[in-house]
Structure 1
Amino acid sequence: MEAVAFLCVAAAALGWGFLRVWDSWECVKSQEPAGVPGDGSRTLLVIAHPDDEAMFFAPTVLGLARLRHRLSLLCFSAGNYYNQGEIRKKELLQSCDVLGIPPSSIMIIDNRDFPDDPAVQWDAERVASALLRHIEVNSINLVVTFDAGGVSGHSNHVALYHAVRTLHSEGKLPKGCSVLTLQSVNVLRKYLSLLDLPFSLLQTPDVLFVLTSEEVARAKSIFWRIHTLPWRPPDSPAGGKERQGQLGHRECTVSEL
């Protein structure tokens, strides 16, 4: 037990030291990653449920906000799996306020076509149709969503990927509209937090966001508020440690579709 405690302390000290060094690099605050549209880009985050934006995409959103993107969000359900959809919609607005997405740029689709249920397979064509309309009406330059693994494996997350993939492969996306998908990683890497950074760097992803300490504090403030909500059962199928580990990351890897 003493050896385990020592390793934990050593890992924490190493992570803290790396954080201090990284935060001193001006490039972290000003660098524009290759493959990401520049200043003023109209970027759409596409999620399945309220809290996806905080649990999985906070590093990406904060990184894009640092690059002065004009962020908007499209959520395909109200998150009504536990009959608390109205509460969760309000919490989504609060979360987006911290992330820098204004209420006027948030759309929540709340209908029977897209129920919050991991046992229900959303119709990919309907998802794609609704998404394409939103992209065209709002002149979106960049779409950010889940990859084929859905990060947590939730079927609703995966459905969003397949819809975007269909639009991309069939050439239906407007000219100049790019797509980035959040890379799913195994459970071990989710828990490594900052220590996972070397692995991400070695994989040479299309885009890698690494947050400053101030941005990490903002992301975690959203996470802890959501993670301790009274409506979330402790045995929630998509909750618990897996989500906590994911937000513990200081870096977020997204790949070009």
Structure 2
Amino acid sequence: MEWLVVIVSMIVLWVASLCKILQASCSPSKAMFLNNGDSVHKRNVLLVVSHPDDESMFFTPTINYLISRGHNIHILCISTGNADGMGNIRKEELYQASAILKVPLQQVKILDHPDLQDGFGKVWDCNLLAKIIEKEISTHVIDVIITFDNYGVSGHCNHQDVNRGVSKLLHDTLQRNIEAWELVSTNILRKYSGPVDIWFSFVYAMYYSSGQMHCLLNKHPQKSYAAMAQHMSQWVWFRKLFVSFSSYTYVNTLRKIN
């Protein structure tokens, strides 16, 4: 009988959390993300990821938020994800997913640099990354960068490398006109708690100074599933479960890189 109570309680909590997401605004903080005072003005945002499908598995709440508020988003994918020899296929899948997420295809750039190839144990040079990102900033007049934090959600070395590349750029060039934000990695229990993690994210964000952290709720979580489904080469059963149960489908917590 006790196990039944636990199951029912978890279902109720899951449903209540999902309802909160669907009804709430996309940022619980008083100073909404990328607001300038009391009004929102269009920003040029560069999302830096490591592989095709990163944008769908981890950053959909952020992308949906930016698009819904009229911001101009560019995606820079550092590799084709060619570890299994499917780089060309995965490139096309990213374009298809971007169409689902309403990111213009001409604003999606996928690199295939010989020194920046996908794979565990393949360390990417942060100096090279910094130069590439700096060029994108200049080309598209970028004023906001979003990327992984220093753990990279899953601990993948390539995710961690893009964080180091962005940090290197900010440190060396002292680009004070650029805002940089990182996606906060969570522990495994929160990571697979689905929409329930919004409550932990809200509490966690309360400990930071105003404007230094934002929780972005995904009011259309079905888009995460639809976008990830475009990555057919990666759309195996455990990734279907991941998208369904991952907290990153429902909420992104972004922390400012100072």
TM over 0.5, yes or no?
yes
- Relative distance call for 1:82 and 1:6 in structure 2 (3 A) is farther
Residue range with higher mean Cα deviation, 240-249 or 38-47: 240-249
Please name the residue that 1:179 is paired with.
180
- Relative distance call for 1:195 and 1:54 in structure 2 (3 A) is same
Query: Pick from 214, 217, 242: which aligns with 1:210?
Result: 217
- Relative distance call for 1:87 and 1:22 in structure 2 (3 A) is closer
Q: Is the 8 A contact 1:150 1:157 kept in 2?
A: yes
Please name the residue that 1:79 is paired with.
81
Q: Distance in 2 between matches of 1:28 and 1:16?
A: 18
Q: Distance in 1 between matches of 2:181 and 2:51?
A: 19
Deviation at 1:4, TM superposition (A): 4.1
Query: Pick from 220, 223, 226: which aligns with 1:221?
Result: 226
Q: Which amino acid aligns with 2:217?
A: V
Q: Distance in 2 between matches of 1:230 and 1:74?
A: 20
Q: Distance in 1 between matches of 2:196 and 2:49?
A: 27
Structure 2 residue matching 1:7: 3-state secondary structure: helix
Deviation at 1:184, TM superposition (A): 0.6
Q: Distance in 1 between matches of 2:252 and 2:234?
A: 28
- Given the alignment of the two structures, is residue 169 of structure 1 paired with residue 171 of structure 2, yes or no? yes
Deviation at 1:12, TM superposition (A): 2.2
Q: Distance in 1 between matches of 2:169 and 2:126?
A: 10
Please name the residue that 1:57 is paired with.
59
- Given the alignment of the two structures, is residue 251 of structure 1 paired with residue 251 of structure 2, yes or no? yes
Q: Is the 8 A contact 1:84 1:231 kept in 2?
A: no
Deviation at 1:218, TM superposition (A): 1.2
| TM-score, with structure 2 as normaliser | 0.85
Structure 2 residue matching 1:112: 3-state secondary structure: coil
- Relative distance call for 1:190 and 1:111 in structure 2 (3 A) is same
- Structure 2: stretches of 5+ with no match in the other structure: none
Q: Which amino acid aligns with 1:36?
A: L
Query: Pick from 20, 31, 34: which aligns with 1:36?
Result: 34
The higher-RCO structure (CA 8 Å, 6+ apart) is: 2
- Relative distance call for 1:233 and 1:209 in structure 2 (3 A) is closer
Residue range with higher mean Cα deviation, 37-46 or 84-93: 37-46
- Count of paired positions: 247
- Relative distance call for 1:131 and 1:91 in structure 2 (3 A) is same
- Structure 1: stretches of 5+ with no match in the other structure: none
Deviation at 1:112, TM superposition (A): 0.8
Structure 2 residue matching 1:12: 3-state secondary structure: helix
Q: Distance in 1 between matches of 2:45 and 2:255?
A: 15
- Relative distance call for 1:101 and 1:231 in structure 2 (3 A) is closer
Deviation at 1:242, TM superposition (A): 5.8
Deviation at 1:68, TM superposition (A): 1.3
Q: Is the 8 A contact 2:146 2:183 kept in 1?
A: yes
Question: How large is the Cα RMSD of the aligned pairs?
Answer: 2.6
Q: Distance in 2 between matches of 1:13 and 1:35?
A: 30
- Given the alignment of the two structures, is residue 120 of structure 1 paired with residue 122 of structure 2, yes or no? yes
Structure 2 residue matching 1:170: 3-state secondary structure: helix
Structure 2 residue matching 1:111: 3-state secondary structure: coil
